[in-house]
Structure 1
Amino acid sequence: MFATSPAESVHALDLAALRVPSITFWAARSHEGALLGCGALKQHDDALGELKSMRTASAARGHGVASAVLLEIIAECRRRGIREVKLETGTEEYFAPARRLYERHGFTPCAPFAEYTEDPNSAYYGLRLEYITG
């Protein structure tokens, strides 16, 4: 991320930050064990989850890895009863495929949330999860 965004606009989690109880991490691997992609969920509270650390190996891009990881994280949010999933991603052209991925899966632009603030290098998205009651 530091190669594509100004340091003050990088919100990626390092390894220590991924090891806290509020973070759940997923890794997608090939049959041979090669890492294809990953993603994480940061649960802010009972109602809000944040998508973090979505990455796809360059050799795996275009094969549905990111969608598979994203759909699994959304499914986990539903299992937990989380009402909304939000995320921050970059505004640079490098992040255009990520923005398209999120939009294809129903995420829409939103205001900064949690500890985020307005930043010309950040785009914020949210997805409201619907539940059938009764």
Structure 2
Amino acid sequence: MTIDIRADDLSDPATQALAAVHLAGMHAGSPAESVHALDLDGLRDPSVTPWSAWIRGEIAGIGALKELDARRGELKSFRTAETHLGRGVARALLRHVIAAAADRGMTSLWLETGSDEAFLPARRLYASEGFVECGPFEGYAADPLSTFMSRTV
């Protein structure tokens, strides 16, 4: 199985739909003040580069890199389509974004994810790729529903 990862301009309805599922899922599981997911306008910001993953022509996942500054990036909007869970899509996207950050000369990556049981698979994935827990960064506030992680690139 080949996972095709490409930069995405968010014009494809399939990509838009998966981004909407991601945002709705974040709002369904957390109070509004604890949701830090980007909507389509946020993903289209010039500081954000979104990617999509495709398997046999079907959307399999999305992920984005937000440039915090020339040396630091933040992972945003990582989501695997339900039909593609367990196929390595999230890991492939994560490795792709880490490589893109390195190509851009970034030296560190940061992320905010949920701290409850539903986000355990995500936290395990990030940890397995070298991310470690840290404190809030770049305007985030401490929140019992958030876990902050970072890694060097």
Q: What is the TM-score with the length of structure 1 in the denominator? A: 0.94
Q: 2:47 aligns with which of 13, 19, 22?
A: 22
The residue that corresponds to 2:115 in the other structure is 91
The residue that corresponds to 1:41 in the other structure is 65
The residue that corresponds to 2:134 in the other structure is 110
Report the Cα distance in structure 2 between the residues aligned to 1:115 and 1:62, rounded to whole angstroms.
33
What code does the residue aligned with 2:122 have?
Answer: A
What code does the residue aligned with 2:38 have?
Answer: L
Report the Cα distance in structure 2 between the residues aligned to 1:115 and 1:39, rounded to whole angstroms.
21
Task: Give aligned-pair identity as a percent.
Answer: 52
Cα distance, 1:30 vs structure 2: 1.4
The residue that corresponds to 2:84 in the other structure is 60
RMSD of aligned alpha carbons: 0.6
Report the Cα distance in structure 2 between the residues aligned to 1:49 and 1:10, rounded to whole angstroms.
19
Runs of 4+ in 1 over 4 A off after TM superposition: none
SS at match of 1:2: helix
- Structure 1: segments with no counterpart, 5+ residues: 130-134
Deviations 1:5-38 (A, max 9, x none): 111100000000111110000000112x211001
What code does the residue aligned with 2:46 have?
Answer: P
What code does the residue aligned with 2:152 have?
Answer: R
In the alignment of these two chains, the number of paired residues is 128
More helix by share: 2
- Structure 2: segments with no counterpart, 5+ residues: 1-25
Cα distance, 1:92 vs structure 2: 1.2
Deviations 1:75-108 (A, max 9, x none): 0000001010000000111111100000010100
